[in-house]
A and B are shown apart, each in its own frame.
Chain A
Amino acid sequence: MNTRTRIPVTNLQHHVFYVTDLERSKAFYTELFDLQFSALNHPDSSAAMRLSQQEMHFFSFGFHHHDICLVKHHKLRMDNNSMLHFSLVLRDKAAFNEVRSRALRMGLPMRKGRMLASAKPVARAFSVQDPDSHWIEIIEEH
């Protein structure tokens, strides 16, 4: 088994981050991006969640079972001190325009351009904060 060349990873596949109010965050992500709710793991439905005292709501971009998951830890307090941001690449120009319009309608303060000054340029980008102040960078790649 170990004679095989060391296996690398190919891509960032999904992200699972803490929130304080699952319903509030669920409304935010579905309203802004049309994310599809795909599963719920709860301490009353999942042994792992019962042991870890967490609840997870899974969301799909439309192909994989889940691409982002919202987690509420029932004992510990979340913060914004281990992640600076994450980027969501939109399907195309029309999707970017749609999300920007929705962000305006939702009254979200928008930060124009890339989140990090040193990041590579893209066609268009802006960032918003979710209800837990996580920074989400929204990108049109080409």
Chain B
Amino acid sequence: MTTAAFVPPNVIPPFKQKFGPLLKRKWFRELVLLWPTLTRRRFSNKTEDYGVFKPSLVSHIGQLSIYVQDIGRSRAWYEQVAGLSHSRTCEREPHPSKEGWTVRCCYMSAKAHDECLVLIEQHDPAGKVAVPSGMSFFHFALEVEGNRLEDVLVFAEQQRATGFAINYGPVRHNSEPPLGDGETGGNVACYLYDPDWNNVEFCGAMDTIENYRARYGDKKGSERA
């Protein structure tokens, strides 16, 4: 479903994508980490090593604006795959940080998040649409309705059934079999590339501060092992 001719350098090639499911196998993760293990550089990245017990000044992410080459194509993708709804598409306006450039903005809303995503065509002074580089962000994540493990699994199956390729997942970002890939956060996730090769995570069931408190109380660091 990704059709842009330019492929950013951070995009996982199809051959490498085939190895993704192996990250759910502990033996494979141990194999990959053999060198830092042998050289004693290896350390734990487990979530339990760090505590999150103090609220910040931020409530939530309000909006993200990403560059696309074709608003119509991207809008259709986010409507079909993510179930986002089109809020409005505006006339060209001056680019806020590039003199002489203009942007055209398409505002997309999720069920519980008004205008959370802005799809932006960036026009150079000659009026030509710029090709997004893919190198400003690794991915962004949209929460799947229901926010449970099984919801993400059904979501992933629905994408596959309708011809949208998943580049990684579904996995759970912890070390628990059968879905755990050894990462952190506890979120269940699957990843798809949008038409401009922007990597989009669809997730649910992320660990929360309550999980930590229930599991570890006031224990910190190595006391939680």
Chain A contacts of B57 at CB under 8 A?
Answer: 33-34, 90-91, 95, 98-99
- Which residues from B are CB-within-8-Å of A135? 96-97
| Cβ of A139 to closest chain B Cβ, rounded Å | 5
Check A4 for interface membership: any CB of B closer than 8 A: yes
Interface contact A65-B184, CB-CB below 8 Å: yes
Contact partners of A4 in chain B: CB under 8 A: 154, 158
Measured CB to CB, the closest approach of chain B to A41, in angstroms, equals 5
Binary interface profile of A, 25-36, with partner B (CB < 8 Å = 1, else 0)?
Answer: 000000001111
Contacts of B10 in A (CB 8 A): 73, 76
B63 to chain A, nearest CB (A): 4
Known contacts A47-B182, A90-B58; A6/B83 CB under 8 A:
yes
Within 8 A of B (CB), among A49-103: 49-52, 54, 56, 58, 60-69, 71, 73, 76-91, 95, 98-99
Please classify how large the interface on chain A is, using the bins under 10, 10 to 19, 20 to 34, 35 or more.
35 or more
A47 contacts B23, C-beta separation under 8 Å: yes
B130 touches A13 (CB 8 A): no
Q: Say whether A84 contacts B65, CB under 8 Å.
A: yes
**A117 within 8 Å of B by Cβ?**
yes
Q: Are A84 and B67 in contact (CB under 8 A)?
A: yes
| Complex contacts, A115 vs chain B, CB 8 Å | 65, 96
> Which residues of B approach A to under 8 Å, CB–CB?
8-10, 12, 16, 19, 23, 28-29, 32-33, 36, 41-47, 49-67, 82-84, 90, 93-94, 96-97, 103, 105, 107, 110-118, 120, 122, 130, 132-147, 151, 154-155, 157-158, 161, 181-187, 196, 198, 201-203, 206-209
A-B contact pairs, 17 of them (CB 8 A): A10-B111, A10-B145, A10-B147, A34-B55, A41-B45, A41-B183, A46-B183, A67-B61, A82-B134, A83-B65, A83-B137, A84-B97, A84-B120, A85-B63, A85-B64, A118-B105, A137-B63
Contacts A36-B52, A67-B60 known; list 7 others, CB within 8 Å. A2-B158, A15-B140, A39-B47, A45-B33, A51-B19, A90-B59, A134-B136
